[in-house]
Structure 1
Amino acid sequence: MAAAAAAAAAADVPAEAAAIARRLASCNTGTRERAVRYLLSDFLPASARRLSATDLIKLWKGLFFCFWHADKPLYQSSVATRLASAVSAPPSPTDGAAFLAAYLTTLRREWAHIDVHRLDKFYLLNRRFLHHAFLLLSANSFAPVVTSQVVSVLSDKALLPEADSAAAGTSRGLGYHVAEAFLDELLPVLPVTLETVDALLAPFFIVLAKSTDRVMVSKVKTCVFERLLESGSRLLEMVKKGEEVDKGSAEEKLGKFGLLFGFSKRFLDIGANAATVQWNRKVLFGLRDAFVKIEKALQLSGLEIPVPQFEAAELSVQPNAGDEKAQKKKKTKNVALAEGEMGDAKDLKREKKVKKDKKVKKEKKKKRKVEVVDEGNTTDKSTDAPVDDQQIGDGADGITFDETLKSNLQKQFEMAAAEAGMVKGGSSSSASPVTPVSGKVATKRKRSKSADKLSEASDGGDGSEVFEAATFGYSKGKCSKKGRKARSHNTDTIEEGEA
Structure 2
Amino acid sequence: MATDAQNSPFIKHLASSDKKTRDQALTSLRAFLSAQTEISELDLLKLWKGLFYCLWMQDKPKLQNRLSSDLASLPATLRPVVVLPFLRAFFLTIAREWINIEALRLDKYLFLIRQYVNASFKYLAREKWNEDMVKQWNGIMEEIPLNATETKLPNGLRYHVLDIWVDELEKVEEGWAKEEMREALGRVMEPVEKLAKDGRLKVVRTAAKECLADERLQAWRGEAQDEVDEEMSDEKDEEWGGFDD
The TM-score, its normalising length taken from structure 2, stands at: 0.80
Q: 1:200 aligned to 2:183? A: no
Higher helix residue share = 2
Tell whether the 8 Å contact from 2:5 to 2:11 is kept in structure 1 after alignment.
no
SS in 1 for 2:144: helix
Q: Which amino acid aligns with 2:221?
A: F
Q: 1:38 aligned to 2:28? A: yes
Q: In structure 2, what is the equivalent of residue 183 of structure 1? A: 166
Shift of 1:170: 4.0
Please, which runs of 5 or more residues in structure 1 have no aligned partner?
1-12, 232-249, 268-279, 287-499
Match of 2:142 among 155, 163, 168: 155
Q: Which amino acid aligns with 2:61?
A: P
Across the aligned residues of Structure 1 and Structure 2, the Cα RMSD in angstroms comes to 3.1
- Where relative contact order (Cα < 8 A, 6+ residues apart) is larger, the structure is 2
Tell whether the 8 Å contact from 1:86 to 1:99 is kept in structure 2 after alignment.
no
1:113 and 1:121, CA in 2 relative to 1: closer, same or farther beyond 3 A? same
Tell whether the 8 Å contact from 2:182 to 2:221 is kept in structure 1 after alignment.
yes
Q: In structure 1, what is the equivalent of residue 235 of structure 2? A: 283
Cα distance between partner residues in 1 of 2:148 and 2:50: 23
1:45 and 1:110, CA in 2 relative to 1: closer, same or farther beyond 3 A? same
Larger Rg: 1
Q: In structure 2, what is the equivalent of residue 133 of structure 1? A: 120
Cα distance between partner residues in 1 of 2:202 and 2:106: 23
Q: In structure 1, what is the equivalent of residue 219 of structure 2? A: 255
Please, which runs of 5 or more residues in structure 2 have no aligned partner?
239-245
1:75 and 1:148, CA in 2 relative to 1: closer, same or farther beyond 3 A? same
Moved over 4 A (4+): 25-28
What percentage of residue pairs aligned between the two structures are identical? 25
The TM-score, its normalising length taken from structure 1, stands at: 0.41
Shift of 1:259: 2.3
Tell whether the 8 Å contact from 1:89 to 1:136 is kept in structure 2 after alignment.
no
SS in 2 for 1:159: coil
Cα distance between partner residues in 1 of 2:237 and 2:202: 16
Q: In structure 2, what is the equivalent of residue 124 of structure 1? A: 111
Q: Which amino acid aligns with 1:259?
A: E
1:86 and 1:254, CA in 2 relative to 1: closer, same or farther beyond 3 A? farther
Cα deviation per residue 1:41-100 (whole Å; 9 max; x = unaligned)? x110012x22111100000000001111122222122211111112244221x4221111
1:25 and 1:169, CA in 2 relative to 1: closer, same or farther beyond 3 A? farther
Cα distance between partner residues in 1 of 2:188 and 2:130: 12
Tell whether the 8 Å contact from 1:24 to 1:63 is kept in structure 2 after alignment.
yes
1:285 and 1:169, CA in 2 relative to 1: closer, same or farther beyond 3 A? closer
Cα distance between partner residues in 2 of 1:15 and 1:204: 34
Q: Which amino acid aligns with 1:90?
A: L
1:284 and 1:207, CA in 2 relative to 1: closer, same or farther beyond 3 A? farther
Q: How many pairs are equivalent?
A: 228
1:146 and 1:89, CA in 2 relative to 1: closer, same or farther beyond 3 A? farther
Cα distance between partner residues in 2 of 1:140 and 1:214: 35
